[in-house]
């Protein structure tokens, strides 16, 4: 277990070093900010404008899966109490304001995966924008010093699980 944490920390430090470049740092700060919800809420409004009543199911599906994701990731954060990497490693520079105190799992990544998978299920043509955007959100988390790569990986896996289950329920 110590070996995995060591590798996770080294990867986080490596990702975070790229944020010393102002262009990279500012790019990923914008990506992260959009991942706070701005992009996803705008996408839902766009879907409603595009398809009106036909978009009610996809938007409701995204919202309900997102709420479940929020409940799960908040529950996990207070159970695991994993400190954020910038609080543990002096080599890691905090490049964005965290939304909460703890690191595990990445809520940004979890929600990006949920919203992307659900949206793409209904609108496959959105995949060429949503898949790269979701990857960039995941990358932004360790680059900005907010999460370990394992936080991002587990957030993505939980997002996949929630989305997959939601397809059978809705």
Q: What is the pLDDT of residue 70?
A: 97
pTM: 0.94
Q: Is the pLDDT of residue 162 over 90?
A: yes
Whole domain around residue 34: which residue ranges?
2-169
Give me the mean pLDDT over the 109-117 stretch: 98
- Determine what percent of the chain is predicted with pLDDT higher than 90: 83
pLDDT tens-digit series, residues 40-60 = 999 999 999 999 999 999 999
Q: What is the pLDDT of residue 110?
A: 98
Residues 139, 19 contacting (CB under 8 angstroms): no
Residues 114, 42 contacting (CB under 8 angstroms): no
Number of domains in the chain: 1
**Which residue from 105, 118, 123 is spatially nearest to 164, judged by alpha carbons?**
118
Provide the strand spans (E) within 16-72: none
- What's 72's domain CATH number? 1.10.606.20
Q: What is the pLDDT of residue 1?
A: 65
pLDDT tens-digit series, residues 63-112 = 999 999 999 999 999 999 999 998 888 888 878 888 888 999 999 999 99
The number of C-alpha atoms within 13 Å of 148 and in the hemisphere containing its C-beta is 21
Within 10 angstroms of residue 30's Cβ, the number of other Cβ atoms is: 12
């Amino acid at each position: 277990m110590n070996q995995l944490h060591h590798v996770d920390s080294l990867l986080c430090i490596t990702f975070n070093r790229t944020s010393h470049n102002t262009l990279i740092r500012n790019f990923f700060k914008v990506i992260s900010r959009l991942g706070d919800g701005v992009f996803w809420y705008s996408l839902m409004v766009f879907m409603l404008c595009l398809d009106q009543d036909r978009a009610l199911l996809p938007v409701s599906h995204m919202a309900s899966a997102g709420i479940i994701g929020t409940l799960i990731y908040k529950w996990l954060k207070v159970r695991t109490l994993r400190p954020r990497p910038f609080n543990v490693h002096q080599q890691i520079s905090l490049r964005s304001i965290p939304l909460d105190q703890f690191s595990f799992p990445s809520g940004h990544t979890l929600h990006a995966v949920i919203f992307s998978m659900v949206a793409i299920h209904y609108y496959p043509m959105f995949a060429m924008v949503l898949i790269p955007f979701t990857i960039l959100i995941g990358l932004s988390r360790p680059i900005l010093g907010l999460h370990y790569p394992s936080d991002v990986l587990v957030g993505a896996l939980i997002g996949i699980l929630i989305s997959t289950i939601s397809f059978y329920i809705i």
